[in-house]
Structure 1
Amino acid sequence: MTENRGAISHYEAELAELRADPELAVEYLKAAMQSLDDPEDRAAALLALRTVAEAYGGLAYVAAEAGISREALYRALSPKGNPTLKTLLAVLKTVGLRLSVEPMSSAAA
């Protein structure tokens, strides 16, 4: 078996890209947040926010800065998580983002 020296996982590459390009992180989260409209697919948005949190310091750092326990953050941003608005806002603020509202497109209405 050939050893891949210097190779990084897809996840690590994704984290590096999100960390290097804040606009990419915003678009990544925007796309994932659209899944919140579908009760069967809400996990995508939570996992995307978790990935961005990992990219911007890691879950332990984000939890400490957001004023919540690391365990609570792991639970809130798990596929079956159900974060409170307070938690969601604190995490977004910690990674330099904020919650925003925009009208639904006429096609989706």
Structure 2
Amino acid sequence: MLLEKEYFDIWMRRIMERLEAIEQRQKPPKAQEYPTLENGEKLFDNYDLCRMLHVSKRTLQRYRSKCGLKYRMLNQKAFYKESDVQEFIRDNFAMFARRREDQRP
């Protein structure tokens, strides 16, 4: 009878370890820490900015090329300073809102 209890305990430990491993994988990741510059300003990559502005990567590329969104290339990846993004939004989205109001009947 003692041997069966030991066998049962071993299997229960294995099951608990597996369940804990599954639980760890299911936990949401911690909030992403954005890279920062020396002055403490945040840097956003394409993925972050697309999610924040609710636009596609192609639209973001269009903002860079035609609307003057400032960016920096680091290791062949585009990064955007937080202040540049705020300036872009302030300058361009106000202009888009005015155009939309002018087009209304």
Name the TM tier (shorter chain): under 0.3
Please give the TM-score of this superposition, normalised by the length of structure 1: 0.27
**Larger CA Rg, structure 1 vs 2:** 2
Please give the TM-score of this superposition, normalised by the length of structure 2: 0.28
Bigger share in strand: 2
